[in-house]
Amino acid sequence: MMDAVTFRIVMNESIFLLDKRVVFDSTKMTLSHGNEIIRISEAETHLLLAFWHGLYKKEDIIHFVWENRGGCVSESSYYKLINQMRNDFSSIGLQPSDIVTRPRVGCRCLLPLNL
């Protein structure tokens, strides 16, 4: 039998489970674990969705996060976004090192991200 949280995760494609314990709600732009909820930015939300889609090349991530929405971005903004996401991981109880930078390629999230 499914509990209410599991049912909600299965039935709503905007809700993901990160590392089998942190709920990522892409509609509300939040990460939650137990009673702790942190709000993340729109760019951070799209970064996690890019990881879910299997994107890891820097150019592909930049295109997915910013350019598809009519924005222009510098590499500095990209690196700032990766750092913000690592800080959010730390705040919610995940390891910042689970976002791995691949020099001259891009980055990827080592944690499972499931619907």
CATH classification of the domain holding 95: 1.10.10.10
pTM to 2 decimals? 0.85
- Residues whose CB is less than 8 angstroms from the CB of residue 115 and which lie 6 or more positions away in sequence, other chains included: 9, 10, 13, 15, 16, 17
SS3 48: helix
Asked whether residue 9 carries a pLDDT value surpassing 70, the answer given is no
What is the per-residue pLDDT for 69? 66
Give the residues across from 37 on adjacent strands: 32
Per-residue pLDDT tens digits for 63-114: 999 876 666 788 899 999 999 999 999 999 999 999 999 999 999 999 999 8
Which range marks the domain in which residue 83 is found? Answer: 4-114
Average pLDDT (27-53) is 95
Q: What are φ and ψ of residue 22, in 5° steps?
A: -110, 125
20 touches 6 (CB < 8 A): no
- The DSSP H or E segment spanning 75 is helix 75-92
Give me the number of domains the chain comprises. Answer: 1
What is the per-residue pLDDT for 75? 87
What is the per-residue pLDDT for 68? 65
